[in-house]
Homo-oligomer: A and B are copies of this chain.
Amino acid sequence: MYSQINKNIGRYVTFEPEELEIFNSLLEYKTVPKKTILLHEGEMCNFEAFVIKGCVRKYYIDANGFEVILQFAIENAWVSDISFSIYEDKPSRVYIETLEDCEFFLFSPETKEELFAKAPKFERAFRILMQRSLAVTQDRLFNTISKSATEKYLEFLEHYPTLSQRVAQHYIASYLGISAEFLSKIRTKIAKL
């Protein structure tokens, strides 16, 4: 049950069994049916979720009412609106929604603090996880600015080979920052080659 998350958190920092025990004892297990919104814009994000199974999307809604998907989180990924709400005490600007039936491990900000107090080495592990997210996001920013829609789509397929089967095309379009119609045209063009 815990091996999956322990492997993830231990990727860059090595923990003692006792430390992992503390960690595991503070996690809350939760299942959530698909199409459930876990966080609405304007709410405080009071969780950090580790995806054991399933798929969620995190998205903004822009000034014209269009959704822009910031992140797909599948098995072994973390999702939260950690960036603003927890430390800034500002309400979230993003939505988090399950796309499939999901199983999570959840942390509240308070239990996270409790963890850091009891086992300070986790501070380091979460710092490195944060760094990795930053790297991924910077890379995406670069791709978004410098690549054509076709290039972005091909790279997406390479990077998330299973996701294109699991989620609707228009979600992928929204993630890539292009219209669903144009993605469809790209796909037919690619299929003809």
What is the interface of chain A, defined by CB distance below 8 A to chain B?
Answer: 12, 60, 62-64, 66, 68, 70, 82-84, 87-88, 116, 120, 123-124, 126-128, 130-135, 137-138, 140-142, 144-147, 177
Whether the Cβ atoms of A146 and B60 lie closer than 8 Å is: yes
Closest to A151 in B: B63
Q: How far is the CB of A95 from chain B (nearest CB, A)?
A: 12
Q: Is the interface of A mostly helix, strand, loop or mixed?
A: helix
Whether the Cβ atoms of B83 and A138 lie closer than 8 Å is: yes
Copies per complex of this chain: 2
Q: How far is the CB of A48 from chain B (nearest CB, A)?
A: 11
The 8 closest A-B pairs by CB, nearest first: A83-B135, A127-B127, A145-B177, A62-B146, A130-B130, A134-B134, A123-B123, A137-B137
Q: A124-B123, A130-B127, A135-B84 are in contact. Are A141 and B62 (CB under 8 A)?
A: no
When distances are taken between beta carbons in the complex, the residues of chain B under 8 Å from A141 are 70, 137, 140-141, 144
CA distance A124 to B124 in the complex (A): 8
When distances are taken between beta carbons in the complex, the residues of chain B under 8 Å from A63 are 146-147
Among A82, A126, A131, the most chain B Cβ lie within 10 Å of the Cβ of A131
